Amino acid sequence: MFTNKENFKQEFKQRLIGKTGRQMHEVTEDDVYAALGSMIRERIGSDWAATNRAYTEQGERQVYYFSMEFLIGRLLGNNLLNLGVLDTVREGLGELGWDLEDIEEYEADAGLGNGGLGRLAACFLDSLASLGYAGHGNGIRYKYGLFEQKIIDGHQVELPDYWLQKGNVWEVRRDDKKVNVQFWGNVESHEVNGRLVYETQNSETVWAVPYDVPVVGYENSAVNTLRLWSAESAANPARDFGGAGSNYYNFLDYKRSVETVSEFLYPDDSNYEGKLLRLKQEYFLCSAGVQSVIRTFDKLHLPYTQLAERVAIHINDTHPTLVIPELMRILMDEKGFGWEEAWDIVSHTVSYTNHTILSEALEMWPEQMIRELLPRVYMIIEELNARFCGMLLKQYPGDQDRVSRMAIIESGQVKMAHLAIYGSYSVNGVAALHTDILKNREMKDFYELYPDRFNNKTNGITHRRWLMHANPDLENVIDHTIGTAWKKQPDQLNELLKYANDAVVQDKIRHVKLKNKERLASYIYKKHGVSVDTNSIFDVQVKRLHAYKRQLLNALHIMDLYNRIKEEPSLEITPRTFIFGAKAAPGYYMAKQIIKLINNIAQTVNNDPQTKDRLNVFFLENYSVSLAEKIVPAADVSEQISTAGKEASGTGNMKLMMNGALTVGTLDGANVEMYESLGDEGMYLFGLRIEEVEKYYREGGYSAQAIYNSDERVKKVLDQLIQPGPFCQNGQSFDPIYHSLLSHNDEYFVLRDFASYADAQTQIGLDYQDSKLWTSKSILNIAKSGRFAGDRTIKEYATEIWGVNPANMASRSGLQGNH
Ligand code: 26Q
Annotated active-site residue 544? The verdict is yes
| Lowest mean per-residue pLDDT among 22-31, 114-123, 606-615 | 22-31
Shortest-distance Cα residue to atom 20 of ligand 1: 116
Distance between CA atoms of residues 58 and 323, nearest Å: 26
Confidence of residue 811 (pLDDT cuts 50, 70, 90): low
Among 179, 74, 71, which residue's Cα sits nearest to residue 118? 71
Task: Examine the domain organization and report whether 592 and 670 are in the same domain.
Answer: yes
Q: Is residue 147 a contact partner of residue 586, using CB atoms and an 8 Å limit? A: yes
The range of the structural domain enclosing residue 352 comes to: 59-74+109-362+417-425
| Sequence-ordered list of residues with C-beta below 8 angstroms from that of 389, at least 6 positions apart, any chain | 403, 407
DSSP 151-170: EETTEEEEE---TTTT--TT
The CATH number of residue 114's host domain is: 3.40.50.2000
Does the Cβ of 266 fall within 6 Å of ligand 1?
yes
Please name the residue ranges forming H helices in 108-260.
116-130, 237-241, 246-259
| pTM for this predicted structure | 0.97
Does the Cβ of 318 fall within 6 Å of ligand 1?
no
Distance between CA atoms of residues 548 and 492, nearest Å: 35
How many A from CA of 358 to the centre of ligand 1? 10
**Strand 172-173 and strand 155-159: pairing?**
unpaired
Shortest-distance Cα residue to atom 24 of ligand 1: 650
Task: Examine the domain organization and report whether 509 and 421 are in the same domain.
Answer: no
Q: Does any domain span residue 7?
A: no
The domain boundary residue, chosen from 395, 425, 455 = 425
Does the Cβ of 289 fall within 6 Å of ligand 1?
no
Shortest-distance Cα residue to atom 9 of ligand 1: 269
Annotated active-site residue 517? The verdict is no
Q: Is residue 616 a contact partner of residue 606, using CB atoms and an 8 Å limit? A: yes
Where is pLDDT greater, at 97 or 816? 97
Q: Is the pLDDT of residue 818 over 50?
A: no
In this predicted structure, what is the pLDDT of residue 816?
40
Q: Does any domain span residue 341?
A: yes
Q: Is the pLDDT of residue 245 over 70?
A: no
Q: Does any domain span residue 492?
A: yes
How many A from CA of 364 to the centre of ligand 1? 15
Task: Examine the domain organization and report whether 659 and 765 are in the same domain.
Answer: yes
What is the signed CA dihedral for 678, 680, 682, 684, rounded to 10 degrees? Answer: 120
Confidence of residue 810 (pLDDT cuts 50, 70, 90): low
Q: Is the pLDDT of residue 650 over 80?
A: yes
Q: Please write the tens of the pLDDT for every residue from 185-212.
A: 999 999 988 889 999 999 999 999 999 9
How many A from CA of 652 to the centre of ligand 1? 14
DSSP 363-396: -EEEHHHHHHHSHHHHHHHHHHHHHHHHHHHHHS
Query: What 8-state DSSP symbol labels residue 606?
Result: H
Ligand 1 pocket test, pick from 65, 112, 114 with the greatest ligand atom count within 8 Å of Cβ, gives 114
Exposure string over 700-724, b if 16+ CB within 10 A, otherwise e: eebebeebbeebebbebbbebbbee
Confidence of residue 708 (pLDDT cuts 50, 70, 90): very high
How many A from CA of 572 to the centre of ligand 1? 41
Task: Examine the domain organization and report whether 421 and 519 are in the same domain.
Answer: no
Sheet of strand 364-366, all strands in order from the earlier edge strand to the far edge: 364-366, 413-415, 409-410
Q: Is the pLDDT of residue 727 over 80?
A: yes
Q: Is the pLDDT of residue 8 over 90?
A: yes
Distance between CA atoms of residues 790 and 458, nearest Å: 9
Task: Examine the domain organization and report whether 339 and 287 are in the same domain.
Answer: yes
The residue annotated as part of the active site, out of 614, 646, 655, 777, is: 655
Please state the rounded mean pLDDT for residues 547-557.
98
| Sequence-ordered list of residues with C-beta below 8 angstroms from that of 210, at least 6 positions apart, any chain | 173, 174, 177, 178, 227, 228, 229, 230, 288, 292
Average pLDDT, the chain: 96
Among 786, 48, 52, which residue's Cα sits nearest to residue 486? 786
Q: Does any domain span residue 742?
A: no
Q: Is the pLDDT of residue 11 over 50?
A: yes
Does the Cβ of 430 fall within 6 Å of ligand 1?
yes
The residue annotated as part of the active site, out of 74, 463, 465, 543, is: 543
Q: Please write the tens of the pLDDT for every residue from 528-539.
A: 999 999 999 999
Domain count, the chain: 2
Task: Examine the domain organization and report whether 469 and 421 are in the same domain.
Answer: no
Among 289, 140, 126, 109, which residue's Cα sits nearest to residue 223? 126
Does the Cβ of 393 fall within 6 Å of ligand 1?
no
Q: Is the pLDDT of residue 819 over 60?
A: no
Task: Examine the domain organization and report whether 477 and 352 are in the same domain.
Answer: no
The residue annotated as part of the active site, out of 119, 136, 415, 544, is: 544
In this predicted structure, what is the pLDDT of residue 273?
87
Task: Examine the domain organization and report whether 534 and 421 are in the same domain.
Answer: no
Q: Does any domain span residue 157?
A: yes
How many A from CA of 268 to the centre of ligand 1? 8
Annotated active-site residue 646? The verdict is no
Q: Does any domain span residue 646?
A: yes
Ligand 1 pocket test, pick from 317, 433, 674, 794 with the greatest ligand atom count within 8 Å of Cβ, gives 317
Q: Which atom of ligand 1 is nearest to the CA of 647?
A: 26
Among 562, 595, 558, which residue's Cα sits nearest to residue 578? 558
Q: Is the pLDDT of residue 89 over 60?
A: yes
Q: Does any domain span residue 737?
A: no
Does the Cβ of 132 fall within 6 Å of ligand 1?
no
How many A from CA of 355 to the centre of ligand 1? 6
Distance between CA atoms of residues 481 and 483, nearest Å: 6
Does the Cβ of 113 fall within 6 Å of ligand 1?
no
| Sequence-ordered list of residues with C-beta below 8 angstroms from that of 817, at least 6 positions apart, any chain | 221, 810
Q: Is the pLDDT of residue 376 over 50?
A: yes
Task: Examine the domain organization and report whether 353 and 476 are in the same domain.
Answer: no
How many A from CA of 116 to the centre of ligand 1? 6
Phi, psi of 619 (to 5 degrees): -100, 105
Please state the rounded mean pLDDT for residues 749-761.
98
The residue annotated as part of the active site, out of 43, 74, 143, 355, is: 355
In this predicted structure, what is the pLDDT of residue 301?
97
Please state the rounded mean pLDDT for residues 278-301.
98
In this predicted structure, what is the pLDDT of residue 813?
43
Q: Over 638-702, what HEC string results?
A: EEECCCCCCCCCCCHHHHHHHCCCEEEECCCCCHHHHHHHHHHHHEEECCCCHHHHHHHHHCCCC
Task: Examine the domain organization and report whether 516 and 421 are in the same domain.
Answer: no
Among 307, 305, 322, 294, which residue's Cα sits nearest to residue 380? 322
Confidence of residue 814 (pLDDT cuts 50, 70, 90): very low
Distance between CA atoms of residues 772 and 537, nearest Å: 15
Does the Cβ of 647 fall within 6 Å of ligand 1?
yes
In this predicted structure, what is the pLDDT of residue 611?
98
Confidence of residue 244 (pLDDT cuts 50, 70, 90): low
Q: Is the pLDDT of residue 605 over 90?
A: yes
Q: Does any domain span residue 559?
A: yes
Does the Cβ of 272 fall within 6 Å of ligand 1?
yes
Q: Is residue 458 a contact partner of residue 673, using CB atoms and an 8 Å limit? A: yes
In this predicted structure, what is the pLDDT of residue 271?
80
Q: Is residue 678 a contact partner of residue 788, using CB atoms and an 8 Å limit? A: no
Distance between CA atoms of residues 290 and 323, nearest Å: 7
3-state secondary structure of 805: coil
How many A from CA of 651 to the centre of ligand 1? 12
The domain boundary residue, chosen from 397, 425, 453 = 425
Q: Please write the tens of the pLDDT for every residue from 388-443.
A: 999 999 999 999 999 999 999 999 999 999 999 999 999 999 999 999 999 999 99
Q: What angle (nearest 5°) sits at the alpha carbon of residue 620, between those of residues 638 and 556?
A: 60
Task: Examine the domain organization and report whether 121 and 169 are in the same domain.
Answer: yes
What is the signed CA dihedral for 423, 429, 433, 434, rounded to 10 degrees? Answer: -80
> To the nearest 5 percent, what fractions of the chain are helix, strand and coil?
55, 15, 30
Q: Is residue 574 a contact partner of residue 533, using CB atoms and an 8 Å limit? A: no
Strand blocks (E) in 723-790: none
Q: Please write the tens of the pLDDT for every residue from 448-489.
A: 999 999 999 999 999 999 999 999 999 999 999 999 999 999
Distance between CA atoms of residues 136 and 125, nearest Å: 7
Q: Which atom of ligand 1 is nearest to the CA of 119?
A: 21
Ligand 1 pocket test, pick from 66, 67, 117 with the greatest ligand atom count within 8 Å of Cβ, gives 117
In the structure, how many helices (H) and strands (E) does the chain have?
Answer: 33, 25
Distance between CA atoms of residues 361 and 653, nearest Å: 22
Task: Examine the domain organization and report whether 530 and 421 are in the same domain.
Answer: no
* Consecutive H or E run containing 55: helix 29-58
Phi, psi of 287 (to 5 degrees): -70, -50
3-state secondary structure of 736: helix
How many A from CA of 316 to the centre of ligand 1? 9
Distance between CA atoms of residues 86 and 42, nearest Å: 16
Annotated active-site residue 549? The verdict is yes
Shortest-distance Cα residue to atom 11 of ligand 1: 269
- In sequence order, what are the beta bridge partners of 231? 208
How many A from CA of 354 to the centre of ligand 1? 9
